Structure 1
């Protein structure tokens, strides 16, 4: 794979990689630094969930390197190889990731590949799905005196590993679950096994922060059945306050919008 050499701008160095967080979707939720990197990029390698509004901000060459279930043409080692190759040719490379690169975004592999090749690399943070979901719901992720701990966890691990979604889930905690829609029944069982009350409020937000977002609010007992009709990308917020759980939105499918 070959690229034309760039003309260096002010700021973003040639022969460098920026891991840029695209946030939940809306272009106006990008950081100013993310916009700067996009506008000065020579090539952008972007994920499946990056919104077209964000891609429209750059005139750089765009290459899709997204992963889809059952059809993964871009395993991580191949992505590492192409972004490093482009930077070694002197290009300003943006690796554009949905959400925040540091939150379940496989940033570690790409950072390691760049540093191993001696390439300058930086992370430009983006709004992660949990923050976008809470904003869309019009509520905070934490509440003084009720939920003073926030856990970000994934239900999708490396092949052979087991996700312990209930680890650390205690009174006073908000649990934000990523990539969990495929195993809701086991998530429900795991969380109940921690001793969490059956009436803990569970909020599903699909495509948080976009025009296509959808919501379901239910309780921990029955959460798997209540999510019928929802699909990825979605984040799940489970709230176990220090006092009794009280739902704050309409129950289950009545809240589906």
Structure 2
């Protein structure tokens, strides 16, 4: 096995992976802002808002390298090649990603590629949509009475990968009182909900769908696990959305107003 190349500080350029957060420009961290303002080249994902990109210097080059579920995307290998080449040419590269680079942002792959080539990489975390989404509805992801932990999980498996064992996850979530936050799960919602119910999560388990979390166009729906696919269809909610499953959703004010909430609350009590 070939040993990784030693990191080199002699290269003229540098690369920083920056989490732009869920979309709201006011949720950008100060450290992220500083990195963007110091960039000479920004490689920007589709889900990053224009108001955030606007913080880049007027002299900086901005290249959009689309990364959006269900749409044509720039090949990952090409993005990594651009990053490496730009650093070698002396650029101050900012790889600007929606949410957090290390939560389903493929940041780990990019860091590994650059470090193997001897390039030092800085990472600036961002607020992930799974946190911002439910928080925007006034409910927590954890609660001492309702959830002892939270699982961030993808509903979109890598090609050739069998993906998540939803039945096994459901059994663990029920036993350990975990909130499930599912990214990129809209297209597989029927498969996911069927697996979770088969694994022991009741159909009346509270659930939320949050589309465009934190943005002005945010939309959401409060439902139950059993009704989640039908709610997606009826409300015409699509990507990018996060699905939240767990008793913490009862902290959302609208939960008490849903037609199914009374029946669900009775089932939870009984």
TM-score with structure 2 setting the length: 0.83
Q: Distance in 2 between matches of 1:55 and 1:14?
A: 24
Residue 236 of structure 2 corresponds to residue 226 of structure 1: no
Contact kept, 8 Å, 1:226 with 1:252, in 2: the verdict is no
Residue 173 of structure 2 corresponds to residue 169 of structure 1: yes
Q: How many residues align?
A: 237
Distance 1:25 1:89, change over 3 A: same
Secondary structure at the aligned position of 2:255 is classed as coil
Question: Superposed, which structure 2 residues align to 1:17-28 within 5 Å?
Answer: 17-28=15-26
Q: Distance in 1 between matches of 2:118 and 2:38?
A: 21
Question: Superposed, which structure 2 residues align to 1:51-200 within 5 Å?
Answer: 51-59=49-57, 60-68=60-68, 69-72=70-73, 74-164=74-164, 165-166=166-167, 167=169, 168-171=172-175, 172-200=177-205
Deviation at 1:161, TM superposition (A): 1.1
Deviation at 1:26, TM superposition (A): 1.2
Deviation at 1:252, TM superposition (A): 7.6
Greater helix share, structure number: 2
The aligned counterpart of 2:33 is 35
Q: Distance in 2 between matches of 1:102 and 1:154?
A: 13
Q: Distance in 1 between matches of 2:51 and 2:28?
A: 11
Runs of 4+ in 1 over 2 A off after TM superposition: 67-72, 246-253
Contact kept, 8 Å, 1:169 with 1:194, in 2: the verdict is no
Distance 1:159 1:184, change over 3 A: same
Q: Distance in 2 between matches of 1:46 and 1:135?
A: 26
Q: Distance in 2 between matches of 1:220 and 1:47?
A: 31
The aligned counterpart of 2:8 is none
Q: Distance in 1 between matches of 2:127 and 2:153?
A: 16
Q: Distance in 1 between matches of 2:16 and 2:259?
A: 41
Deviation at 1:139, TM superposition (A): 1.0
Deviation at 1:162, TM superposition (A): 2.2
The aligned counterpart of 2:6 is none
The aligned counterpart of 1:217 is 222
Structure 1 unmatched runs, 5+: 1-12
Contact kept, 8 Å, 1:16 with 1:92, in 2: the verdict is yes
Q: Distance in 1 between matches of 2:33 and 2:259?
A: 38
Distance 1:201 1:134, change over 3 A: same
Structure 2 unmatched runs, 5+: 1-10, 261-270
